[in-house]
Chains A and B, each alone.
Chain A
Amino acid sequence: MAQVQEFEKALSNSETSVAAFDEHGTSIVKRIQHFLHSTPAAVPLIVLVLSIAVFGVTIGGRFFSSYTLTLILQQIAIVGILGAAQTLVILTAGIDLSIGVIMVISAVIMGNCAVTYGLPTLLAVVIGLAAGGACGLLNGLLVAYMKLPPFIVTLGTWNIVMATNFIYSANETIRDADVDVQAPLLHLFGLNFKIGTAVLTFGVIAMVVLVLILWYVLNHTAWGRHVYAVGDDPEAAKLSGIQTKKVLISVYTLAGLIAAFAAWVSIGRNGSISPSAAVTDYNLQAITATVIGGISLFGGRGSILGTLFGAMIVGVVSMGLNMLGADPQWKVLLTGVLIIGAVAIDQWIRKVSV
């Protein structure tokens, strides 16, 4: 080896364990911070368990029954699925304001194809899914190639899709009874079965299975790692050889597809198909579930299991307050507190880096 510089001679007597990844003396707070850093779904899970416990104690058996708890799951199925779609987008440091309205137009398309045009129901579903995927693809192309901010792109497509939806549907609702007669398959996810007093719908099962599949894909496939890398530091991801544009396009397309799937589930839950469904509510609830679930709005951090827990937290809180007979505004207030708390914790966990 070339000779060592004069001023570096002193190094020869120094410690040789250079850059070893040892854990330095850690306080309990630091250790908690590290644990939460490596287990991002822990916070929402703890909050969920705590809120179930609190309402269980204050309300008693009426709340803490498998009937009530499964009823909560039924109520959050749609938001949970939309939240899963939103999670994918937020992991890339984006946001999708259009998923709510993509869900509504997909439902209208499925209903019209099956009921009004008399197409086979399965084909109608496929067309609806394709429409949702196409809306997502449009978002993806605009974000990846036009390099427009996701907030602006999806605010634009939200309006475009909403107007298209009203023009196309002439704001006509498809009645529950018509769907039942002509296309019962559209009500598939509303079907339920009982295990004791627990009542589960196929919609609930679909939500859980979807989240588990996405969890696997995000954590155990290359594509999933790339989604995190793109959200974390797009420049670094690109230099590491990741095709960031393709990743973004696939994420937005998949989000659109999942929103269309949520449409199918929503037809099962609502019975009828209305073009004027409460889009803004769905949007905000999905984002709320994602944020409370610990998905960082800055991208690249969080576990999709957290989103599921986040949706459950909102469901538990609203059911609990409801059973206590509280003013519904308390639920809104508490949700706000949870959102701010979640973001504050996220910021704190991020400071883990040395």
Chain B
Amino acid sequence: MTQEPILTARGLVKRYGRVTALNSCDFDLYPGEILAVIGDNGAGKSTLIKAISGAVIPDEGIIELDRKQVLFKSPIEAREAGIETVYQNLALSPALSIADNMFLGREIRKPGFLGDWLRMLDRPAMEKRARDKLTELGLMTIQNISQAVETLSGGQRQGVAVARAAAFGSKMVIMDEPTAALGVKESRRVLELILDVKKRGLPIVLISHNMPHVFEVADRIHIHRLGRRLCVIDPKQYTMSDAVAFMTGAKLPPEAALAA
């Protein structure tokens, strides 16, 4: 890559008691790319993206966004910097409506006295934007935007979470195993969403265990092992079995990939 990375992390460490979830981990994301992150269960993938999205504060290490060091103390701060995340457990409030969920923590208030003094939410505006977004992503027929999220199926909930991230992300979108709980058809839909987001120029970090999907959409693959980046490979130069072999330690990655 000749471009500057949009986000870099160097030497991230995160310990949970005696477990070291991140062990001096590096990370690079380039503009406009889809970077897949693969690794065994417990390798520390979720912890890595949580460190980037402000959900976890690393014990050590530096994160730079656009060459400027950032230290997010909460997910709000990362969101304000333009980093949107679809967490593995989705982070939706089941009893709240689709629209309320999409705007949770960044509600729109009515203009004028009602909003400034009575702090009244602008429901029509929020519902319209939520509906527009879901429609744009081909996710809904319009009537039920005020329906509680818990009345949706797994795939629909995933759609809401992805739509929320896609709607607000301005720098990058992170997705932690977005297709893990989905059927074949719904997974395909989410992959298309990911490609849609990429077309708009946003880089995406995609954590997934589904090798065919990873090799289909990723521009680069970050292989995570034992809390750190083992190597980065080009999916056009390696096979799925190579990737699995590196990720499980069955095979050592080539020098060139290690340097990447």
Contact = CB atoms under 8 A, between A and B. Distances in A.
B141 A240 contact: no
B57 interface: no
Interface in A335-353: 352-353
Interface in A4-29: 4-5, 7-8, 11, 14, 18-23
A241 B72 CA distance: 12
B195 A2 contact: yes
A5 B216 contact: yes
Interface in A279-328: 300-301
B87 interface: yes
B156 A21 contact: yes
A352 B151 contact: yes
Given A2-B216, A232-B95, A242-B105, A19 B74 contact: no
Contact of A1 (B107, B119, B192): B192
B178 interface: no
A232 B97 CA distance: 12
Which of B94, B123, B155 has the most chain A CB within a 10 Å cutoff? B94
A220 B122 CA distance: 8
A353 B217 contact: no
B55 interface: yes
A228 B93 contact: yes
B6 interface: no
B94 A232 contact: yes
Nearest to B213: A5
Contacts of B118: 216, 221
B217 A237 contact: no
A232 B101 CA distance: 12
Given A221-B119, A300-B95, A18 B186 contact: yes
B144 A240 contact: no
B121 A229 contact: no
Interface string B94-113: 11100011001111010000
A331 interface: no
A240 B141 CA distance: 25
B244 to A, nearest CB: 17
Interface in A125-143: none
A5 B185 CA distance: 12
A216 B110 CA distance: 14
Contacts of B55: 238-239
A37 interface: yes
Contacts of B153: 19, 354
B65 interface: no
B152 A21 contact: yes
B139 A241 contact: no
Contact of A221 (B120, B148, B155, B213): B120
A243 interface: yes
A235 interface: yes
A235 B91 contact: yes
Contact of B188 (A11, A233, A240): A11
Contacts of B119: 221-223
Contacts of B87: 239
B212 interface: yes
Contacts of B188: 4, 8, 11
A220 B104 contact: no
A351 to B, nearest CB: 10
Interface in B32-52: none
B89 interface: yes
Contacts of B141: 20-22
A81 B153 CA distance: 39
Nearest to B102: A240
B93 A352 contact: no
Interface of B: 55, 74-76, 79, 85, 87, 89-96, 100-101, 104-107, 109, 118-121, 123, 138-141, 143-144, 147-148, 150-153, 155-156, 159, 184-186, 188-189, 192, 195, 212-213, 216-217
7 contacts: A1-B195, A19-B156, A20-B140, A221-B118, A229-B104, A233-B94, A300-B94
Given A300-B94, A301-B95, 20 more contacts: A5-B216, A8-B184, A11-B188, A14-B185, A22-B141, A37-B151, A220-B120, A222-B119, A222-B121, A225-B96, A225-B107, A226-B104, A226-B105, A228-B96, A232-B96, A236-B90, A236-B93, A241-B106, A242-B104, A300-B95
Closest 8 CB pairs of A and B: A241-B105, A239-B91, A353-B150, A241-B76, A222-B107, A229-B93, A240-B104, A236-B91
